[in-house]
Amino acid sequence: MTQGDIIISRLMFFHGIADIAQLAERILGKNEVTGPIPVVGSRQSANG
């Protein structure tokens, strides 16, 4: 396994965590999930 393969596999892993966190947000009806990894879509825009 090359260094590039390792980087890609790690990115895919963290992307999977983000997907799970977003699913949890939808199920729980929360606007934000707190944790060490920022999740895309968990912040509200200034417009609402």
Domain count, the chain: 1
Which residue do the tokens 């417009």 mark? 47
The answer to whether residue 25 sits within a structural domain is: yes
Distance CA 22, CA 38 (A): 11
The answer to whether residue 37 sits within a structural domain is: no
Domain residues for 8? 1-29
pLDDT at 27 over 60: yes
The answer to whether residue 41 sits within a structural domain is: no
> Where does residue 47 rank: exposed (0-12), middle (13-18), buried (19+ CB within 10 A)?
exposed
Q: Locate all alpha helices (DSSP H) within the chain, ordered by sequence.
A: 3-28
Nearest to 19, CA basis, from 44, 40, 45 = 40
* Statement: the pTM of the whole predicted model exceeds 0.85: no
The answer to whether residue 43 sits within a structural domain is: no
- Structure tokens that stand for 47 in this block: 């417009």
The answer to whether residue 47 sits within a structural domain is: no
- The pLDDT value recorded for residue 25 is 83
- Structure tokens that stand for 19 in this block: 């997907």
pLDDT at 29 over 70: yes
**Residue 1: band (very low, low, confident or very high) from pLDDT cuts 50, 70, 90:** confident
